Structure 1
């Protein structure tokens, strides 16, 4: 079983409190820096030669947990400790019980007597002087020249004479000008008046119906896709890189961004990652499997007691509706693309706040029983893929004989 699949299985079998206690024990052991192989031997008492010898600190491990477990170097180390969590935690408890602490710490705190120094008092001497204002009478205004009397002012008054009547000659000139203007305008406008009085033949205007412009043909750009052709494919951050952005499953479909060397860049819902060309295929055949036949097989061959609802109804729910329907999960994990909510019997894959897939764990379903659906779309040594018009269903086989079934809405 691939290490990422072992991690999913272990998260389904252990509770969150146990995982948190184990992570704290790992951080305490790693400290400022230690080889992962040495740390594994100290925590378990066993050796595992496949673990890397590069030193990692507690801060590196905490960052790896917070970043969504993307570094492939920590993954086998953490999964191996999670599988032996009983041994690690029991050993840690024994060490704490045997170590006795008998230390007396005396802390002396010098007492410094502080003598308060009185602040100097400031004496403000205000001297109030009474100012006497002498009242001086303002001089009376005296004009430079004497004001003339009313009799003298009457001499300078202008004598107003009555207005003279207007002459009638101006009115006569206006009437003559109007008559001249009227006669001249009639002479000049006579031909135009005749032209208006003559009947004219109206020209028939034939209106042509405009032909509608042809609708432009919108050519949608062709989108190319690849499908993962093997189980548990590491999608890395750069070609030939070691930082794992996301671990894909067989049958996952991704949009191609570009190709470089022996890798192809794919779109991961807002981010991108690189997949090796030998792990993908662009030839994805279609089969005649119907939705009803696929769902009948799920209802007949898998344990759906932990669901309690019709299978298609879950693919219309978001995470809040899912919790309201079947209750809160006992565990929740996230990675670069999905969130996973764990229940007794399986887990849900949440993508963009919507149920994307349902996984049944520890099904014990055999490959022979799964192949009763007909000819598969793709089959490898450890996985089988079927697809209908709406769904994709896959069987994953582990090295220990356990099987996991995933139903995805395409």
Structure 2
């Protein structure tokens, strides 16, 4: 039988405690170093020439056990001792002292064998519970009579100091009371004052001032040429003759006439409602477009230098100084008219108000090429820009035209 197989067989026949005791005896015998043959002879009293004479120490034997008993140097030595372990242990143990078995230590066995290594279950020492000792105080507890000697009167604890938060809360409460009294004082005083009587209340009420009814302020535009503005509704006394595109403020309305503010010296006149409108389109041309047309579409004899803008800013005296005295003149309730060759100036409040060119070569079709008119009838067209009103009036024959420019 191979030595390793014999070792496995001996492991199955012996207990772990026995093997541990034997290993302890071997370690004590080997010490710092000794030949295995000599050690075997000392432990058993027999000679085994098959064992090696190499010196090994207890540390070498311990490492061999931990390494799984792989080295073959200790294997025949250990197996030979394990076979006669009873003789070895009995020889080492003295007769007058019992053998003290050391606690089993875990062994690692790694021996190649055709059969599996048997499992070992170490015996567990029975644990006996020792009785608990009863607690005994180091100092004796005094009796009730002795404790009564040391009793004293228990005084109540001193009150805690008032925290700062309570002081703050008290101050806030006082402030609220003061503020409430300040606010409520007038109401409280009213309870003690006598209420005013009905007669006193009637005396204190001021008399209402008379309300002057003012007419609704709005504007209208004339929608026809040569509209007769009369002094009274349905009257025949003509105050002024207005033209299409003239704008006036409405002061009153009566039946089918509206009272207009003519804008000069508080003059008023009545116009038929059918010849007016309250709806008027916004301007469709720019100021420069109006000026550009007047430079080519009308006679430039009098307006080439200075320009149209300059003439509309002149006073009556400046106009006469620039052009000389007119060839003829006329006047009505609102305006004065200064006539020159092919053109006349409308003067209002001693200033140039409008310029009219008569018998112009511009036809209605050419005039409409400026853009979308603000208002148009069969015999008149009105264009407007932010500053100017440009109008064309067609004569009764349908061919002659008159063009007017005025500041709005």
TM-score by length of 1: 0.45
Larger Rg, first or second structure (1 or 2): 2
TM-score by length of 2: 0.46
